[in-house]
Amino acid sequence: MTDRFAVLWTRAGGKPVKMGNVVATERECRVTYDQAFVRSGLPGFSLIAPPAKLGTNAIIHRATERFPLHPRLMVMIPPNTAGNLQRRVYAELLAKRPVPPAPGFDSEWEILMLAGRNGIGHLDVFPSDLDAQTWYDTMERRAHLLGGRSGVWRLLQDEIQQTGDMDEATARELAEVMGPTPTVGGMTSKILVAIPDHLEWDGTMALPGTSEIGRTRFTDVIVKIEQPGYEGVTALEALAYDIHEELGFQVPRRWRHSVEGLNVLAVERFDRTSKGLPITYEGLLTIFAGGSTRVTSTSDLELHEVAAWIRRLASLCAIDVNEALMEIFRRLAVALMTGNGDLHLENLGLLGGFDGARMAPVFDPAPMRAWQRHNIQMAIPIDFNRDKPIYTQIARQGLAFGLTETAALGVLRWAHDATLNYRERVGAATGVPDGQKERLIRVVGRERELLQLAL
């Protein structure tokens, strides 16, 4: 494999600055900070790679099949999943090149070079410093509405429903809609765009990073789009957000809308300041995977091990460990009572750099157990003993989170009592097929019965 070179930049300090260089070989990926960046005091490439401690020493990641690049870079590549529209778009554009990249790492790298800017968090990846400077210089001039509202949504509708093969013209139009910004993973299509910062949303969109058009202020969002097989997911996720907000959790603003036959949910990006500048964000999976080759997926650590790894982070960044652990356990309790079996390491993350890391707000709380293929009780496993009540065992996991077993049961009881009307609200939700409602109500009812055995 030919060695690959790229550069890292960031706008986290208010203006674009170069962070350092990336070299990827067949055996390893090396990230090196520039000396000037080390002196800047800005957040580093990863929480576990603080510039003040590393200086210009290389951050070395040994290449694996799952992570041929450092996990912090891999998360910036639109994942190769059926629901990722951006991945299909860029695959089509790469296939039309005179010499298309080979499948595997070559394609992954080229997609990173195409879609490595303005993603979740504060990192921007470019093929060269000249590319970086050109992109930042033209960033403000790219602020414009994404064509006619109906036209854009019709184009999205056709491709999300995958009515046929994508042609090059369509791929280029959709690439303009999404910009060079990597989407996030998941089972449903998501795009990162900007929308008018109003109480109501009519479907108008602009390129991500757009702060203002005319006198209208815009805000960056992630838009989740329902697709065949997941009808009702946006309504159920919106309900889950409401539940968490009512229970005192920090949640982002969101907007529901229906346009051109598509039901969508826009969720404000919490990794941006009020002025649109990036805030450092890193998911727990990439933090842990960056520190150990043992971690390659969201299920590689058991629940008590996640708590132990959170405690270790205290030696690397200024995080309130007890507060973070309590937050995670409370989120788990609510997930169990609302049918969200998808609370995994990619749906938990930290905001802020070395001096102020904290849990990111609740995001992606959709009760996916409404769909049989996603009916998993807990995405983060425990060493389950069939001879003991499951909730007794979950409560004992609370010991790793700084709780007594009694206190952990108290948190579970709190989540139970605070969501007593949840099943009725699911039944009253509009836009959700009866089958999904009935399955979710059954699942949640069963969890409550199992909790009673422990109480």
Residue 42 CA to its chain's centroid (Å): 22
User: Dihedral of the CA atoms 132, 9, 205, 249 (nearest 10)?
Assistant: 180
The contacts found for 143-147 with CB under 8 angstroms, 24 or more apart, are 143/206, 143/207, 143/209, 143/210, 143/211, 143/212, 143/213, 143/218, 144/206, 144/207, 144/210, 144/213, 145/204, 145/205, 145/206, 145/213, 146/176, 146/177, 146/193, 146/205, 146/206, 146/207, 147/177
Q: How far is it, in rounded angstroms, from Cα 392 to Cα 451?
A: 8
CA distance 280 to 119: 11
Sign of CA dihedral 395, 401, 403, 407: negative
DSSP-assigned states of every residue in 290-339:
HH-TT--STTSS-HHHHHHHHHHGGGTS---HHHHHHHHHHHHHHHHHHT
Q: Provide φ and ψ at 98, rounded to 5°.
A: -55, -40
Q: pLDDT truncated to tens, each residue of the chain (455 aa)?
A: 679 999 999 999 999 999 999 999 989 999 999 999 999 999 999 988 999 999 999 999 999 888 999 999 999 998 887 768 888 888 888 988 999 999 888 999 999 999 899 999 999 999 999 999 999 998 767 766 665 555 678 778 877 776 567 778 888 888 877 878 888 776 678 889 999 999 999 999 988 888 888 889 999 999 999 988 999 999 999 999 999 999 999 999 999 999 888 899 999 999 999 888 999 999 999 999 998 888 888 888 999 999 999 999 888 778 899 999 999 999 999 999 999 999 999 999 999 887 789 999 999 999 999 999 999 999 999 988 888 889 999 999 999 999 999 999 999 999 999 999 999 999 999 999 999 999 999 999 999 999 999 88
Q: What is the DSSP letter of 158?
A: H
Structure tokens at 394: 């979950």
Q: Specify whether the backbone of 364 is left (phi greater than 0), alpha (psi in -120 to 50) or beta.
A: left
Task: Provide the pairing of β-strand 212-213 with 189-196.
Answer: unpaired
Q: What are phi and psi of 267, to 5 degrees?
A: -120, 125
CA–CA separation, 210 vs 195, rounded Å? 8
Q: Tell me, what amino acid is at 244?
A: H
Phi/psi at 341 (5° precision): -85, 10
3-state secondary structure of 24: strand
Compute the CA torsion angle 176, 179, 182, 188 (nearest 10 deg): -40
What per-residue confidence (pLDDT) applies to 374?
93
Extents of the domains making up the chain: 4-126, 143-268, 281-454
Architecture of domain 281-454: Orthogonal Bundle (1.10)
Cα angle: 133, vertex 37, 68; to 5 degrees:
80
**8-state DSSP, 361:** P
